[in-house]
């Protein structure tokens, strides 16, 4: 099969799905001062759609590995 460039319609649909899922995820975590959530659902499915749509557009979302304490050059406690 020939490698084809993605069409404009395909890219527009992917971006629309990305924006839709990002909006729903944001609304699911937002709680206004009156305490009543705007939408109330489990965001797991929407999060999977969000990550799949970012991957289909070529984005990689990785969590940076945090080092809490780096003791490789520290000689405290060594006799």
Q: Which positions ≥6 away from 21 have C-beta within 8 Å? A: 46, 47, 49, 50, 53
Does residue 28 contact residue 46 with C-beta atoms inside 8 Å? yes
Q: Using CA atoms, how far apart are residues 42 and 17, in angstroms rounded to an integer?
A: 18
Q: Using CA atoms, how far apart are residues 34 and 31, in angstroms rounded to an integer?
A: 8
For 49-58, write each residue's pLDDT tens digit.
998 998 888 8
For 16-73, write each residue's pLDDT tens digit.
999 999 999 998 888 888 888 777 788 889 999 998 998 888 887 666 666 666 666 7
Token pair 């405290």 is found at 76
């Amino acid at each position: 099969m020939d490698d084809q460039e993605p069409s404009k319609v395909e890219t527009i649909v992917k971006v629309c799905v990305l924006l839709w899922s990002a909006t729903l995820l944001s609304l699911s975590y937002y709680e206004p001062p009156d305490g009543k959530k705007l939408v109330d659902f489990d965001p797991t499915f929407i999060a999977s759609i969000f990550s799949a749509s970012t991957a289909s557009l070529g984005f990689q979302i990785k969590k940076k590995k945090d080092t809490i304490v780096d003791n490789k050059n520290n000689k405290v406690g060594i006799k």
